[in-house]
Amino acid sequence: MSRLFIPKNYKPLLNIHQNELAIRLIKECFQQNLSSALRLHRTTGPLFVLQGMGINDDLNGVERAVTFPIKDLEDKKAEVVHSLAKWKRLTLATQSIKPGYGIYTDMNAIRADEELDNIHSIYVDQWDWERVILPEQRNIKYLKQIVKSIYNAMIRTEFNVCEQYTMIQPVLAQDIFFIHSEELRQMYPDKTPKEREYLITKEKGSVFIIGIGGKLGDGKPHDLRAPDYDDWTTLNEDGFEGLNGDLLIWNNILEQALELSSMGIRVDKTALLRQLKLTGKEERLDLYFHKKLMADELPLSIGGGIGQSRLCMLLLHKAHIGEVQASIWPDDMREQCENLGFSLI
């Protein structure tokens, strides 16, 4: 049976035609707000990259990339991207982007190992963005500044949606609450990371959890992160490790914390060497991306991804991500949704 959460008395607020128009409105408004807030210009991103170059994002290190051979390249294998975390940094260098400016692109991925439910799909669509920074900006204060700018872009987008569709009421809190994952662990020492996320997000509404990837006081990380894009081991001025984090919003429909974005200040040479050693991945230093970074051929940067369908389902008060994106779902999940009065695209 499918992992479907059934909210009580749920009914979509928009009909099919309104739904499609509202999705377009959100995507157009948010990317305009994001690009102006962070001074990003749009660039074209790849659907796949060559295998064995260290460019693809390996996420938690266990997800399998969708691969295929390329006939005209002597059957060299390409991988459908998981995200564009490292590709974007290469592109910043290629385009000679100056500090204070950056790029964003539409990222489309296939994650075949995803467990399908109300918020997880094998099709992932997000705005991937990356911005060049100066050495003195590699700190937690700057990370929080960027997070606030992105969150404000979401609030402005939500205002536009509610103005256009008066049956929709705003859900985003006016302020975002910052907390380090170790502080969160100490608040709820007997809870799992997901339970901690649930409790703090239900209380605060909008939360940014800092420090994802490094071991906490109990010897376990809040969540896993690849060792070669986000910096999750540098000590910050708040006395904790980590210059990255996740943005979570309380979802009243599903009664859970919804992760909208993962972002962070990227590794410099020192952090890369440290994190590769910690994770036993030092062989990656022989890969194309890592050689470029160690040779000082890539700029310092901050970047992340923002879920397009997740933002749409949140702002449009949807119970299932399949109401705002076209994907493949288990037959029993589709049937259950139909019986409840709404359809999956």
- Catalytic residue numbers read 57, 111, 126, 246, 259, 262
Neighbours of 104 (CB within 10 A): 23
3-state secondary structure string across 107-157: EEEECCCCCCECCCCCEEEEEEEEEECCHHHCCHHHHHHHHHHHHHHHHHH
State the greatest distance between any 2 C-alpha atoms of the chain, in Å, as a whole number. Answer: 58
d(CA 89, CA 94): 9
Q: Which residue do the tokens 């933002």 mark? A: 311
Q: Which residue do the tokens 């749409």 mark? A: 312
Our CA dihedral for 32, 260, 168, 23, rounded to 10 degrees, sits at: 50
* Contact (CB, 8 A) for 23 and 321: no
Q: Which residues pair with 230 in a beta bridge?
A: 266
